[in-house]
Each structure stands twice: as structure tokens, then as C-alpha cells.
Structure 1
Amino acid sequence: MAFDSLSDFFNMGGYAFYVWLSYAFAAVALIALTFDSLNMKKALFNKIKQRAKREAKLKHAAERRKQGI
């Protein structure tokens, strides 16, 4: 679709409200998805760190028990 001016482009043939609202909803959804993914990644890494600490602590306790301390 060719537009004669920038104003015609933004007007979208009289359907500007629906077109730009659709773009806005899509942008909000993508931004929300990005932030949710980043938060989930952060939570997963924290969980992995906690599990690694716990396993190291258990291993250390097992070694001490093995030595009879």
C-alpha cells in the first residue's frame, strides 16, 4: 500500500486506531515476555546456586562423617 504523505500513513486509511492499537498490544506483549523471561532466568540461576551450595555442604558433611570428626 502506497501513501501520499506521512499523515496518510499514520491515518492508515481511516483505520489508524485499530492498526496502531494492534501494534501497541503486540509491543506490550513482547516487552512483557522479555521481562518475564529475564526474571525466570534469574530465578533459575539462583535456584541452581542454592542447589550447588546445598550439595557442597552435604558433600563436606559426608567427608567429615567419613573421617570420624
Structure 2
Amino acid sequence: MLDLDMSPYGVFVWSSWAISAAALAAISLRALIAARRWKRELDRLEEASK
């Protein structure tokens, strides 16, 4: 059986997990946005060189 009761430390543990998940999501989103921007710039430069 899964026991998620962490008594006095629960707030700290669960908030730490939430902050970590939010940070990872933000980093991933930022990388995705940057990759799309770089791809558009590359396409633009390739088109301009033709």
C-alpha cells in the first residue's frame, strides 16, 4: 500500500516536488521555443542565400 502521509514534512516535500516540476516544465518550454526560433531563422537564412 502506498503511504503518502509525511506528517510535519509533507508541506515541504510536496511543495519541493511542485517547484521542481514547474522548473523542469519551464526549462523544457523555453528550449522548445528557442528551437523553433532557431529553425525559423535557419529557414530564413537558407532562403536568403538562394
Q: What TM bracket, shorter-length normalisation?
A: 0.7 to 0.9
Taking every aligned residue pair, what percent have the same amino acid on both sides? 22
Gaps of 5+ in 1: 57-69
Q: Which of the pair has more CA radius of gyration?
A: 1
Is 1:40 aligned to 2:40, yes or no? no
How large is the RMSD of aligned CA atoms in angstroms?
A: 1.6
Between the two proteins, the alignment pairs up a number of residues equal to 50
> Normalization by structure 1: what TM-score?
0.65
| Distance of 2:16 and 2:22 partners within structure 1 | 10
> Normalization by structure 2: what TM-score?
0.88
